[in-house]
């Protein structure tokens, strides 16, 4: 009787599955390879991701395709200014039932909202007010929601992939730093190349519907995801991850000039934790047995840029959060 697969076997299985997932997503989405890789890192690290990009760049299609390729349940919430917490968490409904004696009784029954899915797309997350964002914050942090006096646990895995439009600000609300900090990665979705845009125009106007075949089942995904925290990290990589987070704080003695002049608050300890976990996932997806400095460097920008809070001077002079992280990497 064969035992459980070893970590070496799981690493090989994860690397094969990652390539299969990339091919499955490519059946529906043209290009965006770096975005797909970042989504895979988020998926196997069991984190949440914030996708930032203008409309029409297939952000929704990317997430739904990933859910199909992994056979995970998919829920979508279109955030609007009038959205209430109960619209996403679910609500208690008074129902009547007749017992065997013919007597009518009333009871409260819970009807779950769209958060009760494995992969949840929170579309235009910054369009909803703070009260609804707070309900989502509990779900992201604790993997459960409270309705009335009852707490309901969300399915496993539970991951939020949120989208945000960076160019349209009217009718939007700023995401609180506490919520931004819960996202493992902030992934920027850029315009496709000219060749990719030609292929998009050809493929999407042909009338054909792409078919995505499942590559991973939930049980296999759970096994390979359990592996990620066990991936060793070198001392140099750990020191780099912690050093990047600490140097992003203006009060740190080793902070570079760009940080002391333009940053109000830097990444907290959750930033270095997220960077190490993302780097481990990045290494595991390549089938590597350990996480090194190159993995930390590859994940530094998406793991740290949304955790750097800039001051008014930075906005006035056009300094961006990614400029700060790149300066830290260069230093």
- Whether the CB-CB separation of 247 and 256 falls below 8 Å is answered with yes
CB atoms within 10 A of CB 9: 11
Helix (H, G, I), strand (E, B) or coil at 147: strand
pLDDT score at 168 = 62
Give the mean pLDDT of 118-144: 86
Instruction: Specify the DSSP class assigned to residue 249.
Output: S
Predicted pLDDT of residue 187: 94
Asked if the model's pLDDT at residue 281 lies above 70, the reply is: yes
Q: CATH homologous superfamily of domain 1-81+115-204+216-228?
A: P-loop containing nucleotide triphosphate hydrolases (3.40.50.300)
CATH classification for the domain delimited by 231-331, as one of 2.120.10.30, 1.10.8.80, 1.10.10.10, 3.40.640.10: 1.10.8.80
Query: Which 8-state DSSP code applies to residue 291?
Result: B
pLDDT, one tens digit per residue, over 162-195 is: 988 877 666 677 777 888 889 999 999 988 889 9
Residues in the chain: 331
End-to-end, the C-alpha distance of the chain in Å comes to 54
Q: Answer left, alpha or beta for residue 312, where phi above 0 means left and psi between -120 and 50 means alpha.
A: alpha
Same fold for the pair 1-81+115-204+216-228 and 231-331: no
Q: What is the pLDDT of residues 48-99, one digit of tens each?
A: 999 998 888 888 888 888 988 888 889 888 888 888 888 888 887 877 777 6
Q: Where are the domains of the chain?
A: 1-81+115-204+216-228, 231-331
Widest distance between CA atoms in the chain: 79
Work out the burial of residue 268: count CB atoms within 10 Å of its CB; fewer than 13 is exposed, 13-18 middle, 19 or more buried.
middle
Report pTM: 0.88
């Amino acid at each position: 009787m064969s035992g459980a697969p070893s970590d070496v076997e799981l690493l090989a299985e994860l690397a094969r599955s990652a390539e299969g997932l990339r091919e499955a997503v490519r059946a529906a989405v043209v290009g965006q390879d770096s975005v797909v890789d970042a989504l895979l890192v988020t998926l196997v690290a069991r984190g949440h991701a914030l996708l930032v990009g203008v409309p029409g760049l297939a952000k929704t299609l990317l997430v739904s395709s990933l859910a199909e390729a992994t056979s995970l349940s998919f829920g979508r919430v279109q955030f609007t200014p009038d959205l209430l917490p109960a619209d996403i968490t679910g609500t208690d409904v008074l129902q009547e039932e007749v017992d065997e004696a013919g007597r009518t009784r009333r009871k409260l029954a819970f009807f779950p909202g769209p958060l009760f899915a494995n992969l949840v797309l929170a579309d235009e997350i910054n369009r909803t007010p703070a009260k609804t964002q707070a309900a989502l914050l509990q779900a992201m942090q604790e993997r459960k929601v409270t309705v009335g006096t009852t707490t309901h646990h969300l399915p496993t895995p539970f991951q939020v992939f949120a989208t945000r439009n960076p160019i349209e600000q009217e009718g939007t609300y700023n995401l609180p730093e506490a919520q931004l900090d819960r996202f493992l990665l902030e992934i920027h979705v850029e315009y496709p190349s000219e060749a990719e845009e030609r292929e998009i125009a050809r493929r999407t106007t042909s009338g054909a519907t792409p078919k995505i075949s499942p590559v991973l089942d939930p049980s296999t995904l759970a096994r390979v995801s359990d592996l990620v925290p066990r991936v060793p990290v070198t001392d140099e990589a750990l020191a780099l991850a912690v050093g990047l987070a600490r140097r992003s704080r203006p009060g740190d003695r080793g902070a570079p000039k760009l940080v002391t002049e333009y940053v109000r608050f830097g990444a907290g300890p959750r930033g270095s934790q997220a960077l190490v976990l993302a780097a481990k996932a990045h290494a595991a997806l390549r089938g590597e047995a350990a996480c090194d400095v190159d993995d930390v460097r590859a994940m530094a920008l998406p793991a740290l840029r949304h955790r750097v809070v800039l001051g008014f001077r930075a906005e006035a002079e056009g300094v961006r959060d990614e400029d700060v992280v790149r300066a830290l990497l260069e230093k």
